[in-house]
Chains A and B, each alone.
Chain A
């Protein structure tokens, strides 16, 4: 197995079709050209002693060339987060040398003398890919070859490098994408960064379905709306913070006026109910899909589809309505279980750690081995529960649980109640060390209208057991999120612990 095989098939299906467009750089590449370019770079890589191909750049035509060329040459592709500091980037690079590095023109000079790094600027790289006449060896079909190494956005310690083998990525695509399923006029707008698993998945899915990808290098809601209209985009993926900004950008409009947008999927963090409801009003003809997945699972493992969105949104029943914030049901190739701390499988409605199993699941980190158990189950560290109808709800991280006076409680439940208050626009609840209780319940909130601590405590007490009432609330201008919309709960916890000290 090799992701090159997916590209080769796409070339057989639609060689002349445009594969990737970068409107900002005024560049585009067809499927045949992408295949030839990947071969040319593979030929160059084969003549060097580099062990990794590193990409430190925003979305551009060079990204898919680098990804496929690496697999053709049989070396791991390692996209790096360009938002990290220079010392952070350098320490990651040191872990993957000898490496071929492609980066933005401004950064090239900084890497010229770096040991074990052969650096090329984006434009030189793309020119080399398109103009060299390479004669690469055939690609390996060994399913165990490493296709991608992805540094996870670990919040503690050094980032871990998740190992995604050819078999994981190919299984994911074969299991979730219809070959050449896209019509000629379909176009996907890809605005997630290339170092995110969703960015890798977007490249592979689009190629296998024969869809044209329009790349947006640096997301802004204004640019996204403009590009979606100009390019008559038919499908797009966003993280929750992006959708929230798009909805704000369209404030005042009754309709987004994008009849061509057939599907809009989202994932990568918790979607606020108000944002998805407003988005569904603004895009009435668009199919919404919530996709939940992790780097370690080669992206999506559960899906809440368009029909479920419409049913939930139209329902009068509370149990059905709340499915709008669920992540749906597992893909056909994925098994899912909720387990408690002792490993016992939990019944419907009971919270625990989400475990998954399937061909696309890796669960392996470079230098640390696999965290998958002998039966193939991967502990996601995400907590959640499945309702009576099989819908999965994510409820924070497994280790977010607050233990107050021996009682376990989920921050998510308390946050949901706080967020229902009309004056509260964002909320994070954490456990802070307490001599009396072990942990005390404390909340950081963002408000849009005047409200007091006492009013909010009374609000929570009306709806939950009194142990859940935050004994202290801090009013902040905003909560800390990473760039893909994940709440940095650890940062909240540290700040609150310092304040309270």
Chain B
């Protein structure tokens, strides 16, 4: 458990997933991938993905919690799926914008 600042990059401990924090609530935030707490160190340490959190992450997708206060960007995909304190994060529906540049 750690405070999450926007821009912080974290790795899954059990799969290839890497995320960057886009927005996070103040204070300590629990963040898991594949059901196991994420790390800012070495990444995959050889454990296994919990079957309840095994839907996988997709490159470039944004993931949010129920109230939208926590938002992550998947910068490397993996087999585990993201959760905060056990609550699964959902893919954020991006509003389609016209091309501007």
Give the shortest distance, in Å, between B93 (CB) and chain A (any CB).
11
Give the shortest distance, in Å, between A3 (CB) and chain B (any CB).
12
Question: How many chain A residues have a CB neighbour from B under 8 Å?
Answer: 37
Contacts known (A1-B6, A141-B8, A167-B7); A174 close to B97, Cβ less than 8 A: no
Whether B59 contacts A289 by the Cβ 8 Å rule is: no
Whether B98 contacts A178 by the Cβ 8 Å rule is: no
Whether A201 contacts B101 by the Cβ 8 Å rule is: yes
Whether B101 contacts A265 by the Cβ 8 Å rule is: yes
Whether A9 contacts B101 by the Cβ 8 Å rule is: no
Contacts of B97 in A (CB 8 A): 176-178, 303, 305, 331-332
Contacts known (A1-B6, A9-B75, A141-B9); A237 close to B100, Cβ less than 8 A: yes
Question: How many chain B residues have a CB neighbour from A under 8 Å?
Answer: 23
Give the shortest distance, in Å, between A214 (CB) and chain B (any CB).
14
Interface check B82, CB cutoff 8 A: no
The residue that A198 contacts in the complex, of B5, B6, B61, B101, with Cβ under 8 A, is B101
Main secondary structure of the interface of B (DSSP, over half): loop
Contacts of B95 in A (CB 8 A): 332
Interface check B60, CB cutoff 8 A: yes
Segment 51-67 of B: residues with Cβ below 8 Å from A: 59-62
Q: Mark B20-61, 1 if CB is under 8 A from A, else 0.
A: 101000000000000000000000000000000000000111
Contacts of A5 in B (CB 8 A): 9, 20, 75
Give the distance in Å from the alpha carbon of A237 to the alpha carbon of B100 in the complex: 7
Interface check A376, CB cutoff 8 A: no
Whether A174 contacts B22 by the Cβ 8 Å rule is: yes
Whether A287 contacts B98 by the Cβ 8 Å rule is: yes
Whether A306 contacts B101 by the Cβ 8 Å rule is: no
Q: Mark B66-79, 1 if CB is under 8 A from A, else 0.
A: 00000001011100
Segment 217-245 of A: residues with Cβ below 8 Å from B: 235, 237
Give the distance in Å from the alpha carbon of A174 to the alpha carbon of B64 in the complex: 14
Q: Mark A268-289, 1 if CB is under 8 A from B, else 0.
A: 0000000000000000000101
Q: Mark A312-356, 1 if CB is under 8 A from B, else 0.
A: 000000000000000000011000000000000000000000000
Contacts of A121 in B (CB 8 A): none
Contacts of A201 in B (CB 8 A): 100-101
Interface check A299, CB cutoff 8 A: yes
Q: Mark A249-283, 1 if CB is under 8 A from B, else 0.
A: 00000000000000101010000000000000000
Whether B101 contacts A291 by the Cβ 8 Å rule is: yes
Contacts of B20 in A (CB 8 A): 1, 5, 141
Give the distance in Å from the alpha carbon of A8 to the alpha carbon of B99 in the complex: 22
Kindly list 19 other residue pairs between chains A and B, CB separation below 8 angstroms, not including A9-B75, A174-B22. Answer: A1-B20, A8-B75, A12-B76, A13-B59, A141-B7, A141-B8, A166-B7, A176-B100, A178-B60, A178-B94, A180-B59, A205-B99, A205-B101, A235-B99, A263-B98, A263-B99, A300-B100, A303-B98, A305-B97
User: Which residues of A are interface residues toward B (Cβ below 8 A)?
Assistant: 1, 5, 8-9, 12-13, 141-143, 166-167, 170, 174, 176-180, 198, 201-202, 205, 235, 237, 263, 265, 267, 287, 289, 291, 299-300, 303, 305-306, 331-332
Q: Can you give 9 A-B contacts (C-beta < 8 A)? A: A8-B75, A176-B97, A178-B94, A178-B97, A179-B61, A201-B101, A263-B99, A287-B98, A289-B98
Question: Considering the complex of A and B, which 9 residue pairs feature the smallest CB-CB distances, nearest first?
Answer: A179-B60, A143-B7, A291-B100, A1-B7, A289-B98, A201-B101, A305-B98, A300-B100, A202-B101
User: Which residues of B are interface residues toward A (Cβ below 8 A)?
Assistant: 5-9, 20, 22, 59-62, 73, 75-77, 94-101
